[in-house]
Chain A
Amino acid sequence: MQTEFDRYKKEADFVAFKTIHERTRDFGVRDGKPDSLSEFDDQGLLIEVMRNGHMGYSATCETTPEGIKQAFAQAIAMTDASSKYPVFKFDKQIRPGSKGKYQTETKKSLDSLSLAAVYDYLKKTSLALKTSDQIISTSSDAMIITCKQKYLSSAGADFEQSFDIVINSMSATAQKGSETQTRSLHGGRGNCRQVGAEHFQLDSALRECDSISREAIELLSAENCPSETCDLILAPDQMLLQIHESIGHPLELDRILGDERNFAGWSFVQPQDFGTLKYGSPLMNIVFDPTVSDELASYGFDEIGNPAQRKYLIQNGILKAGLGSLESQMRSGLSGVANARSSSWNRAPIDRMANINLEGGDLTLDEMISKVENGVIMFSNKSWSIDDYRRKFQFGCEYGKKIENGKLTKTLKNPNYRGVTVPFWNNLVGLTKPDSVETYGSPYCGKGEPSQIIRVGHSSPYALFKNIEVFGGG
């Protein structure tokens, strides 16, 4: 690729070549039998060129000299046509000349995992999920991803990143009469991180299967979550969605700048809100942190070579900074982060979340529960919806418990809640300690035109909110 890059690097004001080779093995076992065994070996090249201050892109999987020649010619032609109507004239500062390497820390390589080994793990866990005849369906899935990125630019950038990822999910569906309930390991695909083959620990997974399955059955005879306004404790595996939808997306500077209006939406956050908006209660500290070793969206550089750094987005409840790449920073004059990312070689980088984390507080979970006279605790996301300005949300969880006079009492099915972003976060009154923080993520954050799916990480403690509207199914 170096030879090919050298051939073209002087042919525009700026030229970069990014190669991606990502192998995803996605294996699913249902009721102890193969459901889907599949693999995606994705390879290609993204060419970036700057002409007249406008950045344009051409992507190809034809990584032959002839294919690259055609792709480069298309990059120039389309970028020239587009540069007559540019949103903004950039300069070369938006593409730093970074050099270096990033690699996921692993104890055992993911490549060492054979299909047979993973299949065996999934089969055993899938069978362990069926603890009763009331369980009508069980599934156990693993996505095992190795991704290698290389970036070369005419500004001197030369860096390589290598990511090892496991997304492991399990679920059990129970049925009795007309009632059907599903319980899963931290909701959908929430259980994901950068890790090696050491992720697959059968003994602990079998224990988790047992509790997932029992809770699914327990939900069959549970009461519906009541409709009332009360205290609400959210477990970290729901907080991941709450953080993602009501903090991550509205803070993306390209949304605030209006690029996303036709698709994912705009934002209630205005440029002048940075430094002043009281986003939440003083307990609220949110960091952008791609430097955590095992979280899903950790990296050394964003995909245009901006070195990754930890940064407070919200500190003591006050909005400090947005999620904007070097391009959005230049357009808006606001401070941002290293977050220009794309879903693969065939899409241009845009402003993205990486790991967006809520820091811990000073309570144990027992202390937090003991503070609640009347409330509900909810676990594991199952439904999500929010408006295009990221104000009015409604989320549903798999499993709930009533809290009465400081104690957990009966199990609740179909727990849901709704609210409005800023008042909701201002009702945050308690967080559990840093040692209770749990780390999850999502492999499926959608955004962009053309659309892109990207991986994000979210870690959070348990969080207590006052006066929230909760309700059940039916």
Chain B
Amino acid sequence: MKTDILSYFKKFSAASFSLLESNEDLAMNLHSEESDFIRFSQSKVRQNTTVQQHEVTLQYQKDQRVYRIKFNLTLDFEQDTAKVKSVLSQLRIELPQTDPSPQFVPIVNNGSSETFKKAERPSTADVIAIIGSTFTDADLAGLWCSGPLRQASVNSKGQFHYFETDYFFFDYSIYDGPRAAKSFYAEDSWNLKNFIEIAQQAKNTLALLKKPSLKIQPGQYKTYLGPMAVAEVLGLFNWRALSQSSFKQGFAPLKKLAEKETLMSDKFTLVENLNLGYSTPFNSLGEIGPKELVLIKNGHLDNLLTSTATATEYKLESNYADPSESMRSPEVKPGHLKEQDALKNLGTGLYLSNLHYINWSDIQTARITGMTRFACFWVENGEIQGPIQDMRFDDSLFNLFGKNLIDLTETQHVYTDTATYLKRSLGAMKVPGMLLQAMNFTL
């Protein structure tokens, strides 16, 4: 008999809270997943892993001091509550020997909610067979991921927020020798027709790569960034660039924007948009912030992500960002270009479907460096001339989203978060493609 995780967690958290003494508080987070991970190489299964993982994080607070401890539930009630008992008795001795936290936020009741979502999908065994038969004519590498994922934020003040979803994605690429096309399939409900159509699009892209590859010299080129490439760049905004706490500590690539020394393009608007519905409506403290928080509006920095902890430390106003102060559900607002006219609008230049391994190259000027990847083309007069050999770019976000931004496409694409380090990540981003007057390539 499988244990019902929600009921178990209700019982476990209530039992844990009952162990507290009068001046103690406890907040608790749950991350529970039952995942099927099927890793493909050469269109066949390389490794299959199923995972049952139920992680709880206890945030223990007493006398302005905070300690977080994470462990896995065995679903044996005696064993799991014994763990809480031993943690509490240890912390009662050890924690008073540290200092009060400047970011201390008292635990409060941020309400209760329960959300349930479920994507209809075939069994994973069927999916393996479908993928095996759809790509017999291709060399595919990628990952199928599916299964329930639950997150909760509860506390000893009575808060109980619970979110349960069951979703899938297939993140893959197909190859013709060194030539590659990237693809991605995820949907609210599995649809075989759509799955096959998307696979066919990737195969069509791969066919376009047949022409001899071209070596493009370093320099500045007019460039179209496809939505997946834009998603990669957006990842850098999430690498501390919009975090208030990082900003205060001197990691501030957008400082010139914050101080209005420079502006980005008025076509560029970036919003933390929880309405996309892929992440929990509450943050890990259980706070429910605005559904839409504008971060950059028409090129002006409107808000940095400010958690309540950071707000406390620096005496600012919280916008209920997650304590990690990264975007959970970013959206880049669309522009006016027709996606199907991308080549025509580009004229002559580089068409980049994907970017890879981007990092800051100079934080103070918001300069980033990274590589082109997968299907990238040299285009002349709106016609693909051939795939390019991988190129390195090094350019400032102030150029890419500033003076060099011609426009964005009117179509946006949603990419569910595929990160699986340690555990699956919830969230998604919604992005259009971008046409740039120039992008700087160095190698």
Contacts and interface: CB of A to CB of B under 8 A. Distances in A.
Contact of A77 (B54, B125, B139, B373): B125
Main secondary structure of the interface of B (DSSP, over half): strand
- Looking at B94, B100, B124, B369, which has the most chain A CB atoms within 10 Å of its CB? B369
A43 B172 CA distance: 31
A347 interface: yes
Contacts of B142: 262, 449
Given A180-B250, A262-B142, A388-B356, A34 B41 contact: no
Contacts of B69: 38-41
Interface residues of B, number: 94
Contact of B392 (A60, A258, A392): A392
B101 interface: yes
Contacts of A137: 248-250
With most chain B CB atoms within 10 A of its CB, the pick from A175, A180, A343, A446 is: A180
A34 B101 CA distance: 5
B370 interface: yes
A384 B359 CA distance: 6
Given A67-B74, A449-B37, A57 B49 contact: yes
A414 interface: yes
B250 A71 contact: no
B94 A62 contact: no
B68 A59 contact: no
Nearest to B47: A348
B390 A414 contact: no
Contacts of B74: 61-64, 67
A79 B48 CA distance: 7
Given A37-B68, A387-B357, A474-B365, A392 B371 contact: yes
Contacts of B52: 59-62, 67, 70-71
Interface in B383-415: 390-392, 394
B73 interface: yes
B75 interface: yes
B66 A37 contact: yes
B97 A116 contact: yes
Contacts of B371: 385-388, 392
Given A173-B250, A265-B356, A57 B97 contact: no
Contacts of B67: 37-39
B132 interface: yes
Contacts, number: 268
A388 B79 CA distance: 45
Interface string B184-216: 000000000000000000000000000000000
A211 to B, nearest CB: 19
Interface stretch (B20-28, B219-227, B333-341, B419-427): B419-427
A391 B49 contact: no
B58 to A, nearest CB: 10
Interface in B131-150: 132, 139, 141-143, 145
B180 interface: yes
Nearest to B45: A82
Interface string A75-102: 1011101111111000000000000000
B158 interface: no
A150 B6 CA distance: 32
B128 A38 contact: no
Nearest to A43: B72
A418 B37 contact: no
A62 B75 contact: yes
B437 interface: no
A33 interface: yes
A366 interface: no
A202 interface: no
Nearest to B180: A261
B141 A259 contact: yes
B342 interface: no
Interface string A41-72: 11110000000001111111111101100110
A82 to B, nearest CB: 4
12 contacts: A40-B71, A41-B72, A67-B75, A123-B99, A173-B249, A180-B250, A260-B141, A346-B49, A385-B371, A394-B361, A414-B362, A450-B35
Nearest 4 A-B pairs (CB), nearest first?
A61-B72, A116-B97, A81-B125, A450-B420
